[in-house]
Amino acid sequence: MLDIKRIRNNPDEAKEKLATRAVKPEEIDAVLELDEKRRELLQQTEQLKGQRNKVSDAISVAKRNKEDATAQITEMREVGAQIKALDVELAEVLDTYTDKMSRLPNFPHDTDPVGPDENYSREDRKVGDIRHFDFEPKAHWEIGEALGILDFKRAAKVSGARFVYYMGMGAKLERAVYNFMLDQHELEGYEEVIPPYMVNSDSMYGTGQFPKFKEDVFQIKDQDLTLIPTAEVPLTNYYRDEVLPAAQLPVYLTALTPSFRSEAGSAGRDTRGLIRMHQFNKVEMVKYVKPETSYDELEKMTHNAENILQQLKLPYHVITLATGDMSFTAAETHDIEVWIPHQETYREISSCSNCEDFQARRAQIRYRDEDGKVNLVHTLNGSGLAVGRTVAAILENYQNEDGSVTIPDVLVPYMRGVKKIEKK
């Protein structure tokens, strides 16, 4: 949620910034108009409530003195009716106002590249050497199925498209990857968490998935529970509606969880393999920080994600997303894309975002600074990393001509010494 005072005091700035995120200026005008109406009604009803409070006191005194208060009571009956009518009107205005406000995306940071889509994103750095193959590299699903470690067919029978069974060494590899990631993040100061995998609507609202992105998630029938689309939701809502002592900041949390996504609207894209699933494992990093440090913290978090790829010796590049390509809550996002040989392209494996106070305002996550003043924290989240896509990248980048896959050195201890996955 944006700060209405900032929009009110500087509507042109708001229109300009949000125009880069496909928000029409009329939408800002509509919000401002509703805000105006809201405050107008608020003043009217508050004035009447003040009057009612005063006269109610007088009635109370009169009753105590056994005097007649019929006149005032009659008068207040009328005032009460007016208040009720105004409050109904106010509630209606407030409803549309809040709904419109909660659908406006975050302001982009001034340094973000401006543009409507991914073609305008900025490549910040390229890291690692792309391997030259003496043979035609296979797609990871071919490799995985041939080795008997990925079973999409039976997953389709049991669950449907976009699900997978990891079998044997495949399951072991997945587990090695996320255990390695969690251990790394622990060394970097993150506290490991196992959160709930289902959350209520207040939480989904707090991190910005609701109300706008309801169709992207799986919900439990007849209950206010949603399967988390990312661990960002339970991790960031952990301190929802709380005021943290300044000394507690920054807070670093990390968690391995499955992520559940309906992938509505992505029919036909990445239909094969591990890239786009309804359920996938992801190690997530979340930070709660003081506003003045949040961009430094974003750089650190991005490096924490990069470190995993560097240790796995997987080539990648880091891009800063264009304003039009960023997710709803982000002010700045660094995507890390890993090299996928079969597709001869980089694919997203991590997304690290600074949401500034956008989520904190929705979720009311604040801290008490040294002067005793209460401020909104800044929240950050980033994948460190998407586990399934990491496995896909390992299978493809580490494949051998005979169909076997070499295990990256840092994972060998996590594989209990196994250095290569070969056909049984």
> Catalytic annotation on 40?
no
Cα angle for residues 399, 280, 347 (degrees, 5° grid): 55
348 annotated ligand binder:
yes
Distance of closest approach, residue 368 Cβ to RNA, in angstroms: 7
> Catalytic annotation on 261?
yes
Residue closer to RNA by CB (options 58, 158) is 58
Residue closer to RNA by CB (options 87, 270) is 87
Amino acid at 390: T
CB contact at 8 A, 280 and 233: no
50 in contact with RNA (CB under 7 A): yes
47 in contact with RNA (CB under 7 A): yes
State how far the Cα of 407 lies from the Cα of 404, in Å rounded to an integer: 10
Residue among 179, 192, 391, 188 at smallest CA distance from 301? 188
> Catalytic annotation on 348?
yes
Beta-bridge mates of residue 420: 406
| CB neighbourhood size of 357 (10 A) | 21
Write the burial class of residue 132 (CB in 10 Å: 0-12 exposed, 13-18 middle, 19+ buried). Answer: exposed
C-alpha distance from residue 277 to each of 2, 147, 264, 265 (Å): 32, 20, 11, 13
CB contact at 8 A, 334 and 111: no
Distance of closest approach, residue 71 Cβ to RNA, in angstroms: 11
383 annotated ligand binder:
yes
Distance of closest approach, residue 330 Cβ to RNA, in angstroms: 23
> Catalytic annotation on 366?
no
From the candidates 21, 276, 362, 366, which is the catalytic residue? 276
C-alpha distance from residue 237 to each of 188, 241, 242, 286, 360 (Å): 22, 8, 10, 10, 9
State how far the Cα of 295 lies from the Cα of 281, in Å rounded to an integer: 27
159 annotated ligand binder:
no
102 in contact with RNA (CB under 7 A): no
131 in contact with RNA (CB under 7 A): no
C-alpha distance from residue 257 to each of 167, 179, 197, 219, 378 (Å): 19, 12, 7, 17, 23
Distance of closest approach, residue 94 Cβ to RNA, in angstroms: 10
Distance of closest approach, residue 13 Cβ to RNA, in angstroms: 15
52 in contact with RNA (CB under 7 A): yes
Stretch that binds RNA, among 70-78, 204-212, 227-235, 248-256 (CB under 7 A): 70-78
> Catalytic annotation on 175?
no
**DSSP-derived pairing of the beta strands 365-368 and 242-245:** parallel
Binding residue (CB under 7 A) for RNA from 1, 4, 251, 363:
4
State how far the Cα of 145 lies from the Cα of 167, in Å rounded to an integer: 10
Taking CB under 7 A as the rule, which mask of x and - marks residues 235-274 in contact with RNA?
--------x-------------------------------
57 in contact with RNA (CB under 7 A): yes
Residue listed under structure tokens 């009447």: 48
From the candidates 21, 162, 261, 362, which is the catalytic residue? 261
196 in contact with RNA (CB under 7 A): no
381 annotated ligand binder:
yes
Binding residue (CB under 7 A) for RNA from 127, 158, 194, 374:
374
Distance of closest approach, residue 84 Cβ to RNA, in angstroms: 7
Distance spanning both ends of the chain, measured CA to CA:
54
63 in contact with RNA (CB under 7 A): yes
10 in contact with RNA (CB under 7 A): no
C-alpha distance from residue 167 to each of 53, 147, 198 (Å): 70, 10, 26
Distance of closest approach, residue 47 Cβ to RNA, in angstroms: 7
128 in contact with RNA (CB under 7 A): no
Stretch that binds RNA, among 39-47, 160-168, 184-192, 274-282 (CB under 7 A): 39-47
Helix (H, G, I), strand (E, B) or coil at 412: coil
Stretch that binds RNA, among 52-60, 95-103, 291-299, 407-415 (CB under 7 A): 52-60
Using CB under 7 A, list all residues that contact RNA: 4-5, 39, 42-43, 45-47, 49-50, 52-57, 59-60, 63-64, 73, 76-77, 79-80, 84, 91, 243, 373-374
Which residues does the annotation mark as catalytic?
Answer: 261, 276, 348, 351, 389
